[in-house]
Amino acid sequence: MVRWRILWGTAMAVLTAAALGASASPAAAAPGGSGDGVVPSTNVVGGTRAAQGEFPFMVRLSMGCGGALYSSTIVLTAAHCVGRTGTNTSITATLGVVDLNSSSRITRKSNYVYRAPGYNGAGKDWALIRLASPVTGLATLPIATSTAYDSGTFTIAGWGAAREGGSQQRYLLKAQVPFVSDATCNSAAMYNGEVIATDEICAGYAAGGVDTCQGDSGGPMFRTDSAGAWVQVGIVSWGDGCARRNRPGVYTQVSYFSSAIRSAAASLGG
C-alpha cells in the first residue's frame, strides 16, 4: 500500500481541512515532542545522527512534516502536508537545531501557505510556507534548476521515524541513498508504473534498509553541486512502507517544478 510520509492521522486532518476549504491546523504536542506542536510520527531509517550545524536549512513543521529553508521567510515542503492556498497562522516552524528539545531552537509562525496549483494527490507535491518574520543567521538551500544533479548519491535527513511504524526522533538523522532510474522504479518489481516520471524521482536501495519514512514528508533530498555546495533535488513525498526491499522512496522532482517554485516564492516576497 502506498503511504504518504506523514503520520496517517495528521494526513487525514490535512485532507479534511482541505476538503472543507480551510488551512490545516497542527496536531497537538505529544509526550517526547519538542513542545511546539510537533507530533510523534516516523525518521530516516538506517540513518545516523547529524551534527549541529551540518544542515542549517532543515526545518521541522508542527503538523509532523519536514521542510527546507528556501529563503529567510519561505519554507519549501510537500503539498500533502498543508491545506489550501491562503492565510494560515497555525503552523510553527522549528529551525537551527538538531535536537528539537534544545533551548537554542528558533521558532517562527506561518502567515501564509501556497500549495502547488492543481495538486490532487498525484504529483505536483510541493508547497511553500511563508513565515511571519525572517530567520537570520541560517543558510538556505538552493533548488536544482536543471536535471544536472538528478542522479548520483543523495543525502536525506529528517526527524521522522527510524523504523516503519516508529515514533518521531528527538535528534535529526541523516543517510545517503542512490538514484533509481524511472524505468527501474516503475518496473513490475518495484512500483509497476505508479511513479509519475516527469514529476517524481526515486532513490533508495533495492535491498532496502535505508529510507525516509512517515514524519519525513516535505523534507529535502539534496546533494552537492559542481562547486561542492548543497542543492535540493527532491522533496520527500511517498513510498510503500519504509525501507522495504524493492520499494525506494519517491520524491518530488524539484528541477521539474523549479520555475513554478521560484515564481511562487517571488510572489510571496521570498
150 is catalytic: no
| Given 23, 80, 150, 255, the catalytic residue | 80
90 is catalytic: no
Surface-to-core class of residue 106, CB atoms within 10 Å of its CB (0-12 exposed, 13-18 middle, 19+ buried): middle
What is the rounded distance in angstroms from the CA atom of residue 163 to the CA atom of residue 145? Answer: 33
- C-alpha cell belonging to residue 158: 529528517
Asked if 67 contacts 252 with a C-beta cutoff of 8 angstroms, the reply is no
Q: Helix, strand, coil % (nearest 5) of the chain?
A: 15, 30, 55
| Given 125, 150, 211, 216, the catalytic residue | 125
80 is catalytic: yes
| Listed residue (116, 94, 105, 106) closest to 26, CA to CA | 94
| Given 62, 71, 90, 217, the catalytic residue | 217
What is the rounded distance in angstroms from the CA atom of residue 150 to the CA atom of residue 240? Answer: 22
Enzyme catalytic residues = 80, 125, 217
